[in-house]
A and B are shown apart, each in its own frame.
Chain A
Amino acid sequence: DTEVTQTPKHLVMGMTNKKSLKCEQHMGHRAMYWYKQKAKKPPELMFVYSYEKLSINESVPSRFSPECPNSSLLNLHLHALQPEDSALYLCASSQDRGPAPQYFGPGTRLLVL
């Protein structure tokens, strides 16, 4: 099973809302990632978790708050987003944070109004 699942598939939120994106994998992977992908652009790394600890934050604004409750779950809490934050948010996992292949979920398409 090489599946990474993400919920919700679509999300529309206002600039004052608080929402959360969820990601789950059951491959026993110990590294998990959040990426942001704008239309016709490559994914941009946001956060890396390794063994449930945040290891990389790519200078992401604090209105994005990641959380890793356990080794299978990864959340991204959203608060006071801007319209320019509208994008496809991808979750990925890999065996560890080394050069192992990353497996991507289908993403959450976020629209901020």
Chain B
Amino acid sequence: AQSVSQHNHHVILSEAASLELGCNYSYGGTVNLFWYVQYPGQHLQLLLKYFSGDPLVKGIKGFEAEFIKSKFSFNLRKPSVQWSDTAEYFCAVHNTDKLIFGTGTRLQVFP
């Protein structure tokens, strides 16, 4: 079965630091990949998605992700984080009508 791994369980950064959160998936065929964010007390929101084409995708709030097929990776990046980016981040892959989530990364940003 397809799976998604997020190796960074908890990341702590200071404001203005750069961010990279890892995501690896297990399936070798065509993949549809997503990053979702869950701010404290709020609902899951779509940050960005990759279906095909340019492997560097840009999302909302200054986030971007790069699809590297050879590494089965879809890492999330942001050049300069803000305190308001404190949240839980989930990588997900779509497979046979299901959205399969990684275990999530908790990001804490301190002023």
Contact = CB atoms under 8 A, between A and B. Distances in A.
- A and B together in one complex: yes
Interface stretch (A14-22, A39-47, A75-83): A39-47
B99 to A, nearest CB: 6
Q: Which of B32, B44, B45, B106 has the most CB of A within 10 A?
A: B44
B12 interface: no
A31 to B, nearest CB: 8
A97 B36 CA distance: 18
Interface size class, chain B:
20 to 34
A68 to B, nearest CB: 15
B104 to A, nearest CB: 5
B34 interface: yes
Majority SS of interface residues in chain B?
strand
B43 A99 contact: no
Contact of B32 (A33, A42, A99, A105): A99
B102 A42 contact: yes
Nearest to B32: A99
A5 to B, nearest CB: 10
B90 A42 contact: yes
A98 B96 CA distance: 8
Interface string A6-46: 00000000000000000000000000010000001111010
Interface string B77-111: 00000000000001000100111011110100000
Contact of B97 (A92, A97, A101): A97
A111 B102 CA distance: 25
Interface in B16-67: 32, 34, 36, 42-46, 49, 51
A43 B101 contact: yes
Contacts of B44: 43, 90, 92, 104
Interface of A: 4, 33, 40-43, 45, 48, 50, 55-56, 90, 92, 97-99, 101-107
